[in-house]
Structure 1
Amino acid sequence: MITVLGGSFTRFHKGHMLMLDAAIRTGNHLIVGLASDDFLKSHKAYDAPRYSMRKRALDNYISRFTSDYEIYPLDSRNGNADASAEYDTIVVSRETRAQAEAINSSRIRKGLKPLRIVEVPIALAEDLFPISSSRIVKGEIRANGRRVTPVLIGISTANSLKVMALDRYISKVMRNYEIFRNQEYELETDQPLGIDTQISAMKRAQSALGSRDYGVGVESGVYMDRITGSAIDIHYCVVIDRYSRVTVGTGSGFAIPPDIVRGIRNGLTESQAFVESYGGTDPGSTSGIAGIISGNRITRQELVYEAIRNAFIPRTGASFYGLDEKIQ
């Protein structure tokens, strides 16, 4: 049986390695179709290394794992994948799966068995955007996905606690990054209720984005629980990236004491209502109301961190959400 894989491999990178690894794991004889120089001249917007150089890079990698392979020049997108009865499997990315399905349709029309399609998730760079040869050429990232320049992340807040929570999370998924605190934003209310919480978080994120890679907005709001009638405090996070893609997440919710609920109904913010009911100073920039009433078993920073972490889940797990598709 034979597994086929095609590509230009103009800047050999981590994503190419994952594709080749998947092809080698099929255990079949491997045929790699490598785009010819003439084909690339008419299909790439940037200069590509010569065929011999690209072939050498492939040989150097594949030969570390198997000797059961061949590399042939590819002068068209499909090569002979829709015509050879010897082929059994084709390895593709999410980006090229439709091409493989078109190949199978052509094979069926010709009376050939359709190829088994092995789809490999697109590899993400450090900034959680897909790795691509074009990004390497532009000098944004290296072949291993590391950023050449820092990932720029803005967050709209006057509260240092939110900045610290964001830095705590980002440090777990990125190395080369810079966080900017934006304090020039306008909100319609100081105490959002229900959907206004999400709207405020969105406005914060939009204001923080600017020309950066990411804009982050975190808002604490009050939601009414229809079962018990309790007021629930929930932190809501919006993350917008430079491609205008939006992801959201929330932190754990907790029931607000009745005294504070009465204050909110009288027009106070949660913090103002807390101080009026129980005295002390504004808890918003310390452990928060959650920290005080829970005996610091949970703090506001932890709730903010949860919201940010959860808003990034569709980005770190991009293949499950379709966020690993190539971005133009």
Structure 2
Amino acid sequence: MTTSAVAGTFGVLHEGHKALIRRAFETGDRVLVGITSDEMSSGGREVSVPLEIRMRELRRFLDTFGRYDLFVIDDIYGPSDKMDDVDVLVVSEESLPNGRLINERRESRGIRKLELSVVPLINADDGGKISASAILRGEYSRSGRRDVIDIAVGSLNPVKVQAVRNVMERIYGEVRITAVDVQGDVPQQPFGDETRLGAENRSRNALGGHDLGVGIEAGVFEFPDGLYDIQHCAVTDRGGRTTYGQGSGFRYPDDIAGLVRGGMTVGDAVRRLYGNNGIGKRQGAVGMLSKGLLDRLGLTEQSVTAAMIPRIWEG
């Protein structure tokens, strides 16, 4: 039985990554896949996509092949208890030097050298290699195409950006997505109608010369039985038309609701009560409260999809 391995950051899973993974399944009966930790992936990069998002997207593609072993790596060598049994390491032309370093280290430890299976780089429309960083900057789509719909997201929050990418790719196929740092011009914790206004302001402020501007705002709403979270999305086009949608709402526990009514943001209230740092940019309060049954990415996708429904049935 031959064991193959492939590794990467997989910031945005593009055609270059997919070619590496396909080769790993072609060359190995057993396939190991390493994905860089958040600490390793953030080094020297303009934009770092959280591990949870990268891993979810990677798993979706890997599941189409069958069995595999996915694990997190903190350096180019990977954990020895897994990598020592590998026969073939799949690398790109660009990462070939790292493969040679790995073999030098194996040789110094008395471990047999790996066969290095080199996959040619895949180029974008501009002739340069496809790069996750360029995709995250909105220069082209996952396959390197520039002649696709150009969409701006009015936030640098990676969860919001990924949600827009996921939904728009389902609708349009290939898209360019640019994250734009704009404000919603509403309080940090929107209440009621401020939520829709914040989403609209973000979509219009982000639009610029793009084909569509997308704004997403999470706000809280008072209902007879308590305080609810409802996420709103607005999509504005070059003609100035804006369409709206919202995700499914959920009720906050009374302890969180009390702090929010007292002037705290939801994020601050959750941190005070539960100490969950970074929750707003990761699974969100809904992920914690639902024990993982629904996370912020899924909730955000709902609002984006709802805002696109008028454009879907019209087009």
The alignment's C-alpha RMSD in Å is: 1.5
1:169 aligns with 2:160: no
Partner of 1:217: 215
Q: Would you say the 8 A contact 2:184–2:197 is kept in 1?
A: no
2:303 to 289, 292, 307: 307
Q: Aligned to 1:150, which of 148, 151, 154?
A: 148
The CA deviation string for residues 80-123 of structure 1, in whole angstroms up to 9 with x for no partner, is: xxxxxxxxxxxxxxxxxxxxxxxxxxxxxxxxxxxxxxxxxxxx
* Partner secondary structure for residue 185 of structure 2: coil
**1:259 aligned counterpart, secondary structure:** helix
Residue of structure 1 aligned with 2:268, choices 267, 272, 281: 272
**Is it true that 1:181 corresponds to 2:169 in the alignment?**
no
> Number of aligned pairs?
171
1:260 and 2:256 matched = yes
3-state SS in 2 of match to 1:234: strand
Runs of 4+ in 1 over 4 A off after TM superposition: none
- Whole-Å Cα distance in 2 between the matches of residues 300 and 173 of structure 1? 20
CA change 1:148–1:268 in 2 (3 A) is: closer
Counterpart of 2:245 in structure 1 is 249
- 1:272 touches 1:282 (CA, 8 Å); kept in 2? no
Shift, 1:161, TM fit: 0.5
Runs of 5+ in structure 1 lacking a partner?
Answer: 1-146, 319-323
Give secondary structure in 2 for the equivalent of 1:187.
Answer: coil
Q: CA 1:275–1:148 in 2, change beyond 3 Å: closer, same or farther?
A: closer
CA distance in 2, matches of 1:205, 1:167: 15
Q: Distance in 1 between matches of 2:146 and 2:154?
A: 25
TM-score by length of 2: 0.52
For 1:210, give the aligned amino acid.
G
Q: How does 1:1-328 map to 2 (within 5 A)?
A: 149-185=147-183, 187-226=185-224, 228=225, 230-318=226-314
Maintained 8 Å contact 1:290/1:300: yes
Scaled by the length of structure 1, what TM-score is found? 0.50
The AA in structure 1 aligned to 2:239 is: Y
How many Å separate the matches in 2 of 1:165 and 1:225? Answer: 27
- Deviation sequence 1:146-197 (CA, Å, 0-9, x none): x982211001113100101111111112133211100133523110000000
Q: Percent of counterpart pairs with the same letter?
A: 32
